[in-house]
Structure 1
Amino acid sequence: MKQIGVLLSKNYKLLSVAAILEVFETVNKFYATAGDELPFELNLLASHETIENQKESFGYQLQSIKDVKQLDLILIPAFTSDNMHETLQANRLCVPHLISQYNNGASIGTFCTGAFLLGASGLLNGKIATTHVDASDGFAIAFPEVNLKADRTVTQDGRLYTSGGATSSFHLLLHLVQEFCGNEMAIKIAKVFAIDMDRDKQSYFSTFQPSRNHNDELVASAQQKIESNYHDVTTIEELIKDIPSSRRNIVRRFKQVTGITPIEYLQQTRIAAAKKLLERTGQQMTEIIFNSGYSDPKAFRKVFKKSVGMTPSQYREKFQVR
């Protein structure tokens, strides 16, 4: 029987914990119905401070992450807070115990923004990971030594697992069920929860949310110029020619603050504009290409598919408001 610990971190997302428990409890029910030994024992973990005020949750007795026995797998749910610095500070005392459990053989899985806590442990350094697609820029800045795969739904690197946002959590749960219980049980769970087993990317759900939480006026000026003129220019030099700084200095500071280069920022701004037009208008594809700042249809389709994970036509078919 695998010992699974679900971490009730501070600011955990209720839906994330509920999904984890529901899937593993359903697997146990299948085994119980067949008269077989249950594959999982679920343990809810929390800080000592939390347990002093709350003895149980979700129908389980809470256990201190400090004193819990050795586990096979620890799962870190998504966070409700968007202020990851404060959230990580609030949960900093959990980090040494995560490291200790991992060093003693436990696997660790994270859901959505729960990856930030695992990133803070240093265990992901040099390894691949994913997180909610809209939190990926912040993650990349906070943990530059992690090989972030922002478009991936699920990653596994040794005994470390991560998943993207929202319903991607179910894909990681399905992956874990398949690993521990086999393909037949994974298919049963996929049917119960209506999980699309073939979805491996989350990039088409992304929303370009450029960083504004900085005090660099030069970078802010460059951002404003890109966002206001993305459909009229062909080079970054045209956009930054009036900014009183060298191109090299602008590019360096821009990437340091936003996590991406000005040309990548321009590209993402254009793709975000194209996605809105595909979702909300009936414009012909040639109009959308032009209004997004592209002149070469072939180049546009290539960049769009690389960035979004599907062709512009497929995106319109999937997301157009009708």
Structure 2
Amino acid sequence: MASQRKPLIVLLAAPETSASVLYGLFDVLVSAGAVYPDMVNGAPGDEMLDVRIVSADGKPFHCIGNIPVEPQAAIGDIEQADAVIVCDMYTSIYDVPKGRYPREVSWLRQVHNAGALVVSVCSGSLLLAETGLLDNRQATAHWAYRDMFQRHFPKITFRNESVLCLAEEADRIVTAGGVSAWHDLTVYLIARYCGYRTAIETAKVFLISGHSEGQSPYSVMTRPMESTDGPITDCQAWIADHYATAKPVEKMVARSGLNARTFSRRFRAATGFAPIEYVQALRVEEAKQMLETDEMSNDDVGAAIGYEDPASFRRVFKRGTGLSPAAYRKKFRRISQIARPHWGAHT
């Protein structure tokens, strides 16, 4: 009796790929069904997935950190697969993320048309976006690429808060957020192709707990788009030092010499934010740093950044981070407790 074909999972990599993503995905996926029985019962089980690394030409290369990669195939050797994962492919937030991978873009369209689930991790979503498969769809990537998606892929609804975006799952498209989102992705893929129980067992082996709170607690306000709009640039510089002032948008409008409607339009064009959203983002960033390191009460933190009403502060903060100020402080204080004994050790 012929053995049942294993689902084929293909990992697409390039020199711009992180070794941690590529080899992390490979190690966890290839272990599905095999490692847990070995660790619990002393007898390895059967590997349940056929996992292969591919690149444009199939030739050995070095990825980020000068780590060697030996692909098992070129993309032209793979016409069909159950799932194709576009690993992260680092791109500066100021680069034009198009035209770098023409062969990969064409191949991804082909394998998706042939029935494959197409998945991306972190900056791999930029490559997937270039295929057009994400047009008029929801997608995620690392939070730092939000502005890049708005500038270069305006047809895509960017889900800044998502670690794993499953909104387009029915059309065989899934996108994952930051680099470590591959943890969540492996659990999803193993559950999809091997079953829920195997996914749980594999997560136990690798201590994978997922990012249930999403990306928002980790995101940082990135440097706004470069602007040649003098009045707006001046207001950005001013508000960076005066974000806690009362009625900040009114004061920026007055400073600019523009009427409110024109100011709002030009401010959004220059920064990607409505003026009040920009102020709130600045305030939340300052509050996050204070909650991470200071001993001030949560209400005092809110007052220090411009919110005399504690309820208003909590509401704005949770909208920006997905967590209450108290929950945020608790989460990142745990990290500081791990790091604190080593602070200054290498200075």
TM-score normalized by structure 2?
Answer: 0.84
Of 208-217 and 167-176, more deviation after overlay is shown by 208-217
Q: Which residue of 2 aligns with 1:259?
A: 272
- Are 1:42 and 2:51 counterparts? yes
| Corresponding position of 1:246 | 259
Output the CA distance in 1 between the equivalents of 2:69 and 2:283: 49
Quick one: distance in 2 between partners of 1:20 and 1:84? 28
Paired residue secondary structure (2:95) = helix
Displacement of 1:200 in angstroms is 4.5
Contact 1:112 1:166 in 2 (8 A): yes
Deviations 1:13-57, CA, capped at 9 Å, x for gaps: 111101110111111534996787643222222123x62x659x9
- Structure 1 residue 118 and structure 2 residue 123: aligned? no
Does the aligned pair in 1 maintain the 2:221–2:282 contact within 8 Å? Answer: yes
User: Relative to structure 1, is the Cα distance of residues 13 and 39 closer, same or farther in structure 2, using a 3 angstrom cutoff?
Assistant: same
The alpha-carbon deviation at position 285 of structure 1 amounts to: 2.2
| Match for residue 202 of structure 1 among 212, 215, 218 | 215
**Partners in 1 of 2:70 and 2:33 — Cα distance?**
15
Q: C-alpha deviations, 1:128-184, integer Å up to 9, x for none?
A: 211112222322332222122211111121211111113222011111111111111
**Secondary structure, counterpart of 1:66 in structure 2:** helix
- Aligned-pair CA distance for 1:214: 3.8
Counterpart of 2:157, as a letter, is N
Q: Structure 1: which 5+ runs fail to align?
A: none
Match of 1:14 in 2: 19
**TM-score, with structure 1 as normaliser:** 0.90
Partner of 2:341: none
Residues 1:211 and 2:221 aligned together:
no
Which of 161, 176, 196 matches 1:163?
A: 176
Q: CA deviation at 1:62?
A: 3.6
Q: 2:191 aligns with which of 174, 178, 181?
A: 178
In 2: Cα distance, 1:261 partner to 1:92 partner: 35
Letter of the structure 1 residue corresponding to residue 130 of structure 2: A
Judge which range, 229-238 or 250-259, deviates more. Answer: 250-259
Q: Tell me the equivalent position of 1:279.
A: 292
Instruction: Judge conservation of contact 2:55–2:71 (CA < 8 Å) in 1.
Output: no
SS in 1 for 2:256: coil
Cα distance in 1, alignment partners of residues 273 and 225 from structure 2: 13
Identity, % of aligned pairs? 26
Answer yes or no: is the 8 Å Cα contact 1:190–1:196 preserved in 2: yes
Matched residue type, 2:20: L
Q: Which of 66, 71, 81 is equivalent to 2:91? A: 81
Shift in alpha-carbon separation, 1:58–1:174, aligned structure 2, 3 A: farther
Query: What SS does structure 2 have at the residue aligned with 1:209?
Result: coil
Give, in whole Å, the separation in 2 of the partners of 1:235 and 1:200. Answer: 31
Q: Matches of residues 101-116 of structure 1 in structure 2 within 5 Å?
A: 101-116=111-126
SS in 2 for 1:89: coil
Select the residue among 309, 314, 317 that pairs with 2:327. Answer: 314
What secondary structure is seen at the aligned counterpart in 1 of 2:175? strand
Code of the aligned partner of 2:189? L
CA–CA separation in structure 1 for the residues paired with 2:69 and 2:148: 35
Q: Check 1:212–1:141 CA distance in 2 against 1; reply closer, same or farther (3 A cut).
A: closer
Cα distance in 1, alignment partners of residues 132 and 231 from structure 2: 32
Counting matched residue pairs gives 320
Contact 2:55 2:75 in 1 (8 A): yes
Ranges in structure 2 where 5+ consecutive residues have no aligned partner: 1-5, 338-347
Q: Which moved more, 1:277-286 or 1:197-206?
A: 197-206
Secondary structure in 2 matching 1:85: coil
Q: Indicate the RMSD between aligned Cα atoms, in angstroms.
A: 2.6
Indicate the residue corresponding to 2:9 in structure 1.
4
Q: Which amino acid aligns with 2:14?
A: S
Q: Which amino acid letter does the alignment assign opposite residue 43 of structure 1?
A: R
- Paired residue secondary structure (1:245): coil
